[in-house]
Structure 1
Amino acid sequence: MRTKPLFCTLTLVCCLVFPQAGAGQGTAEFPDSAQALRTRLDARVTASFEKSFGEILQSISRSQKLRIILDRRIDPATVIKCQAQNESVRTLLQKITSMANVAFCEIRGNIYVGPKATCHWLASLCELHQQSLKERLSSNTGQLDAKRLLTASDFQWEYLSDPTDLIESLVTSCGLSVSNPHLLKHDRWNENGLSNLPISQKLTILLAGFGLTFEWNIANKSIELRPFPSSVVLKTTIQKSLSESNLDKIKSALPDLKIKSSDGTLIAEGRYEDIDRLNRLLAGERVSTSTTSTSENRFTLSVAKAPAKDLLEAVANSRKLTLSASPEATELWTKQIGVDVKEVTLEELLDVITKACGLKWTINDDELEISE
């Protein structure tokens, strides 16, 4: 039985210099939209710490007023040593999650920290469940309170809450039930919450840490728990006419997104994050199109012996990343190593190379950083 809370509550002895979110503007609220979260993540911070992963996340959450949910499968006691000098909160999160060998994703105004595969698909799964619910409700009018099911709201829980109780309370509040709740493991969570989400996305996030998701059964007024999927593909249609050259530019900027153009219509298939970037690009926004999570891109590499530096340079070039290393790392990456992998992700390949010579890696924006 796991009784450890999501965040440790030991006394911080690290140095964290954060501008208080909303300073000088009254009491700051948690972000309630994707745009508000992006603005909060752009804030510049200076930090120096050597403390547990959970404590660092908790400190960032409190100082920046961010909803950060830590997956129950991740050990919050992992010690992280890192420095940030006038860097964005996003870059800081990228650094510390990379050091903990996990990832994070953004869902409206919320941040989820967890296994890389889970974070790669979670936002897409949230959107898929919301779309599915709308479709099912349209063909089952009158059976359920559609407004309650589709309206976004905040959701908070107290210290030592039982996640099974949280999930069942959400479901029953909308006139539904969980058909197979026995699949949920007993646990106790620290106080936390979710900002401005509809029930479908709240459930998707709460279930992710159990390796589960769900399927709607509107006719029986229930949900059925299912294994978390290995991939999620969203499809959207956008009424937009683009020249061939502009379409090629967008395809180049979003290589993981399948885009077709026909009769003034764009048809895009891929992850939620890439579709969101496409919509923002078409709206004239200036957005980052770099992709640090690359579960869809696989690498096969067989090298009997070569300097780790050469392998890292080859990998960086293949993803159009700039390679940099700390002084300590440059002394270690000259080591001759052998690599033999098939169909692995970028993250897995970098793990193999760096661990062979006692190094760590981090991807920040378009830079692959190697450290001891």
Structure 2
Amino acid sequence: MLFLFRNTENQRGYANQGSGEPPVLLNREIPRYLTERNFRQALTQPFSASWSNVGIRAILQRIRETQNISIILDRRIDPSRKLKIDLQNQTLEQGLAQIADLIQARCIIVGSNIFIGPDAEVSKLKTLLQLKSDALHELADSQNTLKSRVIQLSRNHTFHFQDLDKPAEILQNITNSYQIKIDNEQLVPHDLWSNFSLVSVNATESLSLILIQFDLTYEWAGEATGIRLAAVPDKVLIKRTYPLPGKSIDSVTAQIKEQFPDLVLTSSGKLLSVQAAMDVHEQIEQLLNPKKTVHPVRAGGGKTVPLNRRKFTLRVKKVPVLAIMQKLEQSGIEFEYDKQELVEADINLLQLIDVAVVDAEADEFFDALFSSFKLDYKMQGVKITLTPQK
């Protein structure tokens, strides 16, 4: 998909012409934004556009409408700030990242949404999302009776909001959908927001996307039926342990310390534990396992190499299998399954797993990936079809 749009002070453009802001509307038509695989594919499509002296909100609204994707602008960013930008022959994701960079912000994908916010807050959001997801699954592991509740909270919902909706009401809409009670909702200040959508998000994602904009987070209460709001700490860290087979602990520690001198590292045998933000963990993982990131492999004529002709290397600890699947989809692998069928079979793709394979054949790799689940998989070309075991 190629999007060409010109908007300058001397040309007719979007909404009110020239540099005008989109009008306030209280009854916008509900958009039909792309979700999941279609959303991720849209981000890789060619994108060209140009604006001069146009507000950020108008630019993002135009991209939403033409590309059919959900974009959320953090409330701390001035939406009327004017930009001059020329994007040529980039992917849509690269174009959005460049727009964010111009306003000293950063993009992150959450569910089927692009969230644009201040860099430090986006870093905290990434870590908080993982911490809250981990906490939820640890709760289920400690109390077997809560597994069905965790599955309920892991289901994706889509929410649409109009101009001038209040964040307290938006939060209430989300908590009602998941049957969650907020213990101290008075911490959410009064505000009026522009229209936006939360597309294909679970409870953790939807709550965090709203609360982070007020420097708030939450703790699960009761049997995951309530939350208590709390201020986001100055530092949001998560502990990860890395196996180091065949590597020297001292040399690896020295490498990491050179890049991140303030990190606290602890080791035990061939295991290295690190407490850091998710951004740092991603860089450490890449440093330790440069082959981990799965890139598209193309054969002659531009065709994707079939799975049975690929080799896979992956080392991860306590990562949702769905996150790994989403990463694999970026390399052209397709996963086909019936969400409701998996839910009814008590199969939760947000379950955390450990995988350690090196230069593995496809069968070995996917056996390791799905060994914790009562799932059958079938490979055909680049497609994996998942079905519950009978």
Interval of TM-score (by shorter of Structure 1 and Structure 2): 0.5 to 0.7
The alignment status of 1:70 with 2:79, answered yes or no, reads no
- What is the Cα deviation at residue 235 of structure 1? 1.9
1:181-220 map, 5 Å: 181-218=185-222
- Deviations 1:306-325, CA, capped at 9 Å, x for gaps: xxxxxxxxxxxxxxxxxxxx
Partner of 1:306: none
Aligned counterpart for 1:106 among listed residues 106, 109, 118: 109
The one of 168, 177, 182 equivalent to 2:181 is: 177
Conserved 8 A contact 1:211-1:227: yes
Structure 1 Cα separation of the partners of residues 224 and 293 of structure 2: 44
Q: Could you say if the C-alpha distance between residues 258 and 154 of structure 1 is closer, same or farther in structure 2, counting changes exceeding 3 Å?
A: farther
**Alignment pair present for 1:270 and 2:276:** yes
Sequence identity (%): 22
Q: In the alignment, which residue of structure 2 is the partner of 1:301?
A: none
Matches within 5 A, 1:329-348: none
- Among residues 197, 220, 234, which one is paired with 2:238 in the alignment? 234
When the two chains are superposed, the root-mean-square deviation of aligned CA atoms in Å is 3.7
**Residue in 1 aligned with 2:92?**
89
Which residues of structure 2 form unaligned runs of 5+? 1-13, 20-31, 297-390
Which piece of structure 1 moves more, 143-152 or 256-265? Answer: 256-265
Structure 1 residues 91 and 219: alpha-carbon distance in aligned structure 2, compared to 1, 3 A threshold? closer
- 1:53 corresponding residue in structure 2: 56
Q: Is the 8 A contact 1:153 1:197 kept in 2?
A: yes
The one-letter amino acid of 2:217's match is T
Alignment-mate amino acid for residue 285 of structure 1: V
User: Residue in 2 aligned with 1:127?
Assistant: 130
Change (3 A) 1:62 1:237: farther
Contact 2:171/2:207 (<8 A) preserved: yes
Please give the alpha-carbon distance, in whole angstroms, between the structure 2 residues aligned to 1:44 and 1:261.
45
Give the stretch that moved more between structures: 232-241 or 116-125. 232-241
**C-alpha distance in 2, partners of 1:239/1:108?**
29
What displacement does 1:109 show? 3.5
Asked if structure 2 preserves the Cα contact closer than 8 Å seen for 1:127 and 1:201, the reply is no
Range with bigger deviation, 178-187 or 254-263: 254-263
SS at match of 1:209: helix
> In the superposition, relative to structure 1, how do residues 144 and 261 fare at CA in structure 2: closer, same or farther (>3 Å)?
closer
1-structure distance, mates of 2:92, 2:224:
44
Alpha-carbon contact 2:140-2:150 (below 8 Å) kept: no
Q: Deviations over 1:189-210 (max 9, x none)?
A: 3443223332012101111112
CA distance in 1, matches of 2:56, 2:254: 37
TM-score by length of 2: 0.57
Q: What TM-score results when the alignment is normalised by the length of structure 1?
A: 0.59
Please tell me whether the aligned partners of residues 148 and 174 of structure 1 are also in contact (alpha carbons under 8 angstroms): no
After TM superposition, list the pairs within 5 Å mapping 1:4-19 onto structure 2. Answer: 10-11=15-16, 13=18
Gaps of 5+ in 1: 1-8, 15-27, 288-372
Contact 2:39/2:69 (<8 A) preserved: no
User: How is 1:237-256 mapped onto 2 (pairs within 5 angstroms)?
Assistant: 237-239=241-243, 241-244=245-248, 251=255, 255-256=259-260
Tell me if 1:285 matches 2:294: yes
1:144–1:248 CA distance, 2 compared to 1 (3 A): closer
1:137 aligns with 2:143: no
Aligned pair in 2 of structure 1 residues 91, 258: CA closer, same or farther (>3 Å)?
Answer: farther
- Matched residue SS, 2:34: coil
Q: Please give the alpha-carbon distance, in whole angstroms, between the structure 1 residues aligned to 2:156 and 2:243.
A: 30
- Report the number of matched residues: 264
Task: Please identify, of 62-71 and 177-186, the stretch whose mean Cα deviation from structure 2 is larger.
Answer: 62-71
Taking the aligned partners of 2:254 and 2:92, their CA distance within structure 1 comes to 27
Measured against aligned partners, the alpha-carbon deviations of 1:79-103 in whole angstroms (never above 9, x if no partner) come to 1011122223333223322322333
Deviation at 1:179, TM superposition (A): 1.0
What amino acid does structure 1 have at the position aligned with 2:15? Answer: L
Output the amino acid matched with 1:54.
R
Segment of structure 1 superposing worse, 260-269 or 224-233: 260-269
CA 283–36 in structure 1, closer or farther in 2 if over 3 Å, else same = farther
